[in-house]
Structure 1
Amino acid sequence: MKKYLFLIVMVAFAAGAYAQQASTKKVSGPVITFEKKTHDFGEIVQGDKVEETFKFTNTGTEPLLITNVQVTCGCTTPKGWPRDPIQPGGKGEIVVAFNSAGKIGRQDKVVTVVSNAANPDEAKISFTAQVSEKKQPQ
């Protein structure tokens, strides 16, 4: 039993060491790194318009070029993103607006940043909101 436990611990340790080594490996090319990838607007009232700014850095070795910002529905609008290349170490922002008109309940929206980044799986940002019904005047 002790031999099997020792073997399991050694395999887990080796796998962890390999994963850490792989994650610290420098990727060549542009790399988009967001300060935060998600935002929770909390509870808002139906009809509210809210927006959030997602900040990022090009942590890669070549210029980053964002060619498009795709949304999942018409209620979400990318209001702005850098059109010029972002040099290594350079920073940028993507402003995303959400119009809750016609929405009710929990909203989970994903925004995809289309670019030449070497890490395209990391180029998705998202937000949530809990939309409550507009109270009618009495």
Structure 2
Amino acid sequence: MKSKVFLLTALCFIFVCSGAKAQGKLLFEKDTHDFGTLAEGTQAAYVFKVKNVGVDPVVIPDVKASCGCTTPTWTKKPIMPGDSGTITAVYNSAGRPGPFYKSITVFSNNSEQPQHVLYIKGEVEAKALKTGSSPEQKAMSPRLAVGSTGYDFGKLEKGQKAFAKFLIRNTGRKPLVIQSVKSACNCVIYRTSRAEIKPGEVATLELRYVPAMLGEQIEEVTVLSNDIVMPALRLRLKAQVVAGKASKDTLREGAQPTPFR
């Protein structure tokens, strides 16, 4: 009889312990690091420091960056109470001129916040472009002009398809062709209302964005065209991404595009 009581007591203790919530707590020294201005091609690294101010160990099983341009590494062993760990973010600026704002999501058994988002930002100074185009060729080139270079989706659910429309005009003397659109996150695709935009004509450039990370996301999108004066136009997409499953695609109609200058 005594052995049965002891066994039941032991089992109850195991179940209570296994169901108890871990009381590890991570305290980050800072959430955002500004690299300032970087020369294009620089591999910029920053180490975020974090301390366990709880009473139980904290484990960080995974850290995910919002794009392939950022590589995170982190403390793999359990961070004991009172001890510290690190999350290192390395940003590859090669081929990414212009401003950037990237997020790094830290997953852990932190009792209060199992997902914590860190940010890195800065500006990449473009390398000087060498071109053999003559002044006459530049004067005859197609020219891409855009009414607005930024679009704010507001709140989106993770995985939800959202669309941004930009009005573009050819202010040059030859037909303009949008050749491709690139983004570091590989989460943006495009289509244009005209395959070829004649001088003086206006067309619509539509970007489809599917966010894959939670938190505030800012994606730099590069539009490549046959404009030899400015072959790469940079656009910026912004969204506050929340958890949830979108039931259908949404098209956000923003304010009227700003006039062409």
Deviation at 1:73, TM superposition (A): 0.6
TM-score (norm 2): 0.40
Greater Rg over alpha carbons, structure: 2
Is the CA contact (8 Å cut-off) linking 2:71 and 2:91 kept in structure 1? yes
2:257 matched residue in structure 1 = none
The Cα offsets for residues 1-52 of structure 1, whole Å up to 9 and x where unpaired, read as xxxxxxxxxxxxxxxxxxxxxxxxxxx7111111111110001122111100
What is the percent sequence identity of the aligned residues? 37
Tell me which of 67, 77, 80 is aligned to 1:84. 77
CA distance in 1, matches of 2:44, 2:54: 31
Deviation at 1:77, TM superposition (A): 0.1
Where does 1:1-138 land on structure 2 (aligned, <5 Å)? Answer: 29-78=23-72, 80-120=73-113, 123-136=116-129
TM-score (norm 1): 0.73
CA distance in 2, matches of 1:124, 1:130: 20
Deviation at 1:122, TM superposition (A): 6.7
Is the CA contact (8 Å cut-off) linking 2:108 and 2:115 kept in structure 1? no
Q: Which amino acid aligns with 2:35?
A: F
CA distance in 2, matches of 1:84, 1:44: 33
> Structure 2, unaligned stretches of length 5 or more?
1-21, 132-261
Q: Which amino acid aligns with 1:97?
A: V
Is the CA contact (8 Å cut-off) linking 1:33 and 1:122 kept in structure 2? no
Q: Decide whether aligned partners of structure 1 residues 108 and 121 sit closer, same or farther in structure 2, where only a CA change above 3 A counts.
A: farther
CA distance in 1, matches of 2:118, 2:54: 19
C-alpha RMSD over aligned residues: 2.1
Query: For this pair of structures, how many residues does the alignment match?
Result: 111
Is the CA contact (8 Å cut-off) linking 1:32 and 1:123 kept in structure 2? no
Deviation at 1:120, TM superposition (A): 2.1
Runs of 4+ residues over 6 Å off in structure 1: none
Is the CA contact (8 Å cut-off) linking 2:105 and 2:115 kept in structure 1? no
